[in-house]
Amino acid sequence: MFNQFLKKKNFMSAQEQQEFFDIIGNFRSSGLTLEEGITAFQGDFPKDSYNYHLCASILKDMSNGHRFSDSLKKFPKSFSPFTTGIISMAEGTGHFEASLAEISFRQGLQMEIKSKISSATLVPKISAVFGLLAFLLSTGWAIPKMAEVLESLDADLPLITEVVLYFGSFMSSFWWLIFPIGFGIKFYYEWLKKNKPEMLASILMKIPFWKPIVINRLRYDFCTIMGICIDAGIEPTQALSYTGMASDNIFLKGLIARALKQIRTRGVSFDEALKKEDAIPLLDMKLYRMLKAGRVTGQTGEIMKKQAEYYRKKLLAATNEVGDKVGMSVITPIYIFISIMVAAIVLPIVGLAGSAAMQAF
């Protein structure tokens, strides 16, 4: 059964990636080769596992003269543009140890962020499930039963009660629409992801609780990659090119591409080109001041590493806050729905009680 599961697996997990790059990084720093590190990692997995075959494919490519980064690019579900871009840069400069260590560190950061988001959104997820169940129970059973009782009393109903009864009647007849709508949303998301990634990225950037995570993550990646490249002796324009190649954010890629065009056609400095082309903006004024200071002082690499740490802290802070923001977006509609239901039930009862009191007198 376990082997069957492994055969179906078609990606390397984040934790496995961290271990993969830790091992080959340790082998490199010990004077051994990448191939020996990959072989050592491969030996921890059964021969019919996905990771074993992935390593075998990489080793075969490298034995045939292919670059390590090109071999990794064959597995986009396992290795992100950040990973392959950093490796490609390392191949050009020979700074493998630092690059492999940074990839491993980023994988650990990604796992930490994912864990924090999962923990922070646990209560909102549970609330959403109970809210959906309450909604289905109310519209499928409670509201129709309430309609029968009120109709038997021949009462004058408030507008809010009539609306709720109409909605309940509609949902009790067409409850099955929930499933095609859900599948439709899922299909549209996958279609956007494949055919309109820029549109999907734009939508995600507009979600209040998600935008700070996206922005601080891309700023962290930008500073990290620029810092690694500059420390490796790459001049800023070429470092900017590597940064664009290694980024997995479509907007940052576009910004860097436009900035590189400005640099090549007009001869402006890299920080000025970025600032001029950054319409959203993706990079903040603090970062542009730091880039200019680095260009003037020749300390861009060191400054970028410090800025990367600054954005890493902001990224983790934004991640910690996501639970409260998601919670409000989930719980608020539930409270509104409950309030409407209470009003729809209580108002007719109050009206009937008032009518009974009037008739008594």
- Tens digits of residue pLDDT in 329-344: 777 777 787 787 778 7
pLDDT in tens, 245-279: 888 888 999 999 999 999 999 888 999 999 999 98
Comparison of pLDDT for 153 and 246, the residue scoring more: 246
pLDDT of residue 361: 57
- What's the length of the chain? 361
- Contact between residue 82 and residue 221 where contact means Cβ atoms under 8 Å apart: yes
Poorest-confidence range of 72-81, 224-233, 305-314, 348-357?
348-357
Nearest CA to 36 among 27, 47, 26? 27
CA distance 87 to 100: 8
Assess whether pLDDT exceeds 70 at residue 9: no
Written as one string, the DSSP assignment of 226-245 is HHHHHHTT--HHHHHHHHHH
What would the mean pLDDT of 37-47 be, rounded to a whole number? Answer: 92
Assess whether pLDDT exceeds 50 at residue 5: no
What would the mean pLDDT of 7-34 be, rounded to a whole number? Answer: 86
> Burial level of 240, CB count in 10 A (0-12/13-18/19+)?
buried
pLDDT of residue 310: 94
Distances (CA, A) of 266 to 236, 259, 298: 16, 10, 22
pLDDT of residue 354: 67
pLDDT of residue 335: 79
Nearest CA to 339 among 57, 60, 138, 200? 138
What would the mean pLDDT of 154-161 be, rounded to a whole number? Answer: 72
> Which segments of 138-278 does DSSP mark as H helices, in order?
143-152, 159-174, 178-195, 197-205, 211-231, 236-246, 250-266, 270-277
Assess whether pLDDT exceeds 90 at residue 319: no
pLDDT of residue 67: 92
Nearest CA to 249 among 207, 304, 204, 291? 204
pLDDT of residue 145: 72
Distances (CA, A) of 213 to 86, 209, 306, 357: 22, 8, 19, 59
Assess whether pLDDT exceeds 70 at residue 288: yes
Assess whether pLDDT exceeds 60 at residue 119: yes
Comparison of pLDDT for 124 and 85, the residue scoring more: 85
Dihedral of the CA atoms 19, 21, 27, 30 (nearest 10)? -110
Q: Please, what is the end-to-end C-alpha distance for the chain in angstroms?
A: 78
Which structural domains are found in the chain, ordered by start?
Answer: 2-90+97-116 (1.20.81.30), 121-361 (no CATH)
Assess whether pLDDT exceeds 90 at residue 151: no
What would the mean pLDDT of 138-167 be, rounded to a whole number? Answer: 71
> Burial level of 144, CB count in 10 A (0-12/13-18/19+)?
middle
pLDDT of residue 353: 67
> Burial level of 216, CB count in 10 A (0-12/13-18/19+)?
buried
Nearest CA to 216 among 321, 119, 79? 321
Read off the pLDDT band of 7 (50, 70, 90).
very low
Phi and psi (nearest 5°) for 51? -60, -35
Cβ count near 153 (within 10 Å): 11
Poorest-confidence range of 102-111, 191-200, 337-346?
337-346
Average pLDDT, the chain: 83
Share of the chain above pLDDT 70, in %: 87
pLDDT of residue 150: 67
- Contact between residue 150 and residue 157 where contact means Cβ atoms under 8 Å apart: yes
Assess whether pLDDT exceeds 70 at residue 94: yes
pLDDT of residue 154: 66
Angle at 209 between CA 203 and CA 215, to 5 degrees: 70
Read off the pLDDT band of 3 (50, 70, 90).
very low
Per the omega criterion (within 30 degrees of 0), is the bond before 281 cis? yes
Comparison of pLDDT for 44 and 344, the residue scoring more: 44
